[in-house]
Structure 1
Amino acid sequence: MNTPDKQQRLQELLLELARPETKITDQNLEQYIFRLQDIYEADFRHLYSGVFGVITSIDADDASELARLQENIQTLHTASVSWLEKKRGHVSEDFCHRLEKLYDHVNLDISRINYTQEIVSRMEEKNRKAGEEIKQLSEKATNMQKDYITILGIFSSIVITFVAGMVFSSSVLSNIDKVSIYRLTFVMLMIALLLFNLLNLLLDFIRRVNQRGVLTQSNEKQAGSVISGINGINGILFIMLVIDLAAWLWYWHRFG
């Protein structure tokens, strides 16, 4: 037999037993057993849905209160069985049976909640690991793209330099007897200056692609030393151009 009043009193008692400050002692043990006896008299049977609602509300407030409720219910059940054996306090076998059902339902709901939380925790951990794996795969894909660009850039640089060098050599050798040494040297230096800077532009593009997002102080120093070397070689080639041009003008003025 179920009555709303007794069901409400039972749920309020469960909430009280779940409070952190509630602890079953020798002084209040008898009081709680008598309150439960009063609730379960006249063949009262608690509603499982009502017990489950109380358990979920306790878990929402503070999960540690579930342990307190479980401990207190177990203490009351153990004490009731002991009183039955000692024939104390008018504890009946039917009351112990109903209290055992309550204890079983409370433990079952707490176990389900703990299991659900464990599943959620596992899923969150799996999602975290999956996110890390996706991030690693994305970084690998980015690095592979950089490697492909680097390989393609190096291949293009080699091809351009090789082809330009072959054309340059063929042109120089085929016209070596048609122009003066000054003009030939000037053209050779100009082509060398052009090819050198073109090759450096390609290599600088490759370097920037590989170091994108990984700019460090050492990388900046390395880039600065490379630029200094390039400027030095360009300066030497330019000086040689000026010297050749000056020698050409001197020759033209004297013998021209």
Structure 2
Amino acid sequence: MSFRELSSSEISDRAGKINSILEDLSIKRLDSAELGEKAKILEEIYSSKYRHGYEGILDVIRNIEKTHSSGGNQSASEEDQEMDSLFFLTTNLDDLKEHIRIGSYSVDTFNGIVRLSDHVKLEIHRLRDLQEQDYQKEQMTRTIKELLAKSENLASEVKIAQNNSEKLQMHMVAILGIFAAIVMAFSGGMNLLSGSISISGDSNLCNVVFVVVLCGIILFNLIAFLIGSIMSIIHPVICDKEEGHSQKGIFNSKLLIAFNGLMMSLLAADVVIMICL
């Protein structure tokens, strides 16, 4: 038995009908009457030794997923809708294949539906693999972006730590130098005070008091200045705008003024006593 050769327009028309049938099979589970209608259409399509093409099946399956994910039951998740559509498609293809096998249809029709069913299932599996690869790529891209962001934060923290370390080294050198100056000032002041007292040992008490008070004023203010320099390096003095004074302690300006005022008063009183005597 001879078959006429199909034209390109007939081949394209039959391919379009197969794509339309696949879309119809993905909507719902078909009953026997509906399977018979589809079988008759396939009988006509697969006549004249027609073989469907394989290049457009994947696009049809993708379109089925896209269509059913945007319509239908809005309360169902997108994944459930896509799985339902592909489940209907594969199930209806199996039912249609069995319907044609037991019915009075040609061998070409049965072989055509068998090849179509196998190819659809293969393309569904291929689509799932592609989707899984795309998902893994997205996850990898997201992970890389997160790692890059963390690395930038770590680099910034390392830079800050390096700057703080350099500042700390400078502060330590300054503090050690000031401590050495305090020790030298204290020891030198003590030597000066003891020498002054020994020299004025034969003088009256007013002269001794004058020398001691004067040396005490100079030594106290010098040591207070040096310790204040250390404190300003370790922790800057913070002014209280509401109370209008600095931190409490030996470096409180009011305390320093009071101490110096007291010493100056003692010094002035000593001078007055020496004049009177």
Verify: 1:42 aligned to 2:48, yes or no. Answer: yes
Q: What's 1:231 paired with? A: 248
Q: Which structure 2 residue ranges, 5 or more long, are not aligned?
A: 1-5, 70-77, 197-209, 237-244
CA contact (8 A) 1:70 1:107 kept: no
Verify: 1:204 aligned to 2:235, yes or no. Answer: yes
CA contact (8 A) 2:43 2:109 kept: yes
Distance 1:247 1:113, change over 3 A: farther
Residue 105 (structure 1) aligned to one of 115, 119, 135: 119
Verify: 1:241 aligned to 2:260, yes or no. Answer: yes
CA contact (8 A) 2:46 2:108 kept: no
CA contact (8 A) 1:55 1:110 kept: yes
CA contact (8 A) 2:39 2:96 kept: yes
Whole-angstrom CA distance in 2 between matches of 1:41 and 1:81: 16
Provide the secondary structure at the position in 1 that maps to 2:64.
helix
Whole-angstrom CA distance in 1 between matches of 2:270 and 2:47: 130
CA contact (8 A) 2:64 2:85 kept: no
Q: What's 1:57 paired with? A: 63
Following TM superposition, by how much is the alpha carbon of 1:32 offset from its aligned partner in structure 2, in angstroms? 2.2
**Number of equivalenced pairs:** 230
Distance 1:237 1:102, change over 3 A: farther
Q: Identity across aligned pairs (percent)? A: 15
Q: What's 1:16 paired with? A: 24
Following TM superposition, by how much is the alpha carbon of 1:116 offset from its aligned partner in structure 2, in angstroms? 1.8
Paired AA for residue 171 in structure 2: S
Q: What's 1:127 paired with? A: 141
Whole-angstrom CA distance in 2 between matches of 1:136 and 1:238: 53
CA RMSD of aligned residues (A): 3.2
Whole-angstrom CA distance in 1 between matches of 2:116 and 2:99: 18
Deviations 1:145-186 (A, max 9, x none): 444444444443332222122223324544524693334333
Provide the secondary structure at the position in 1 that maps to 2:31.
coil
Whole-angstrom CA distance in 2 between matches of 1:69 and 1:197: 81
Question: Which is greater in Rg?
Answer: 2
Paired AA for residue 9 in structure 1: K
Distance 1:60 1:164, change over 3 A: same
Q: What's 1:209 paired with? A: none
Provide the secondary structure at the position in 2 that maps to 1:46.
coil
Distance 1:23 1:167, change over 3 A: same
Whole-angstrom CA distance in 2 between matches of 1:85 and 1:9: 21
Q: What's 1:185 paired with? A: 216
Deviations 1:116-155 (A, max 9, x none): 2211221222233333333333443344344444444444
- For 1:19-98, what aligned pairs fall within 5 Å after superposition? 19=27, 22-61=28-67, 62=69, 64=79, 66-83=82-99, 85-86=101-102, 88=103, 90-98=104-112
Verify: 1:255 aligned to 2:269, yes or no. Answer: no
Whole-angstrom CA distance in 2 between matches of 1:242 and 1:59: 92
Taking structure 2 as the reference length, what is the TM-score of the superposition? 0.67
Distance 1:188 1:81, change over 3 A: same
Residue 173 (structure 2) aligned to one of 159, 164, 167: 159
Taking structure 1 as the reference length, what is the TM-score of the superposition? 0.72
CA contact (8 A) 1:157 1:202 kept: yes
CA contact (8 A) 2:26 2:89 kept: no
Whole-angstrom CA distance in 2 between matches of 1:132 and 1:4: 49
Distance 1:4 1:243, change over 3 A: same
Distance 1:34 1:182, change over 3 A: farther
Whole-angstrom CA distance in 1 between matches of 2:38 and 2:90: 13
Distance 1:204 1:251, change over 3 A: same
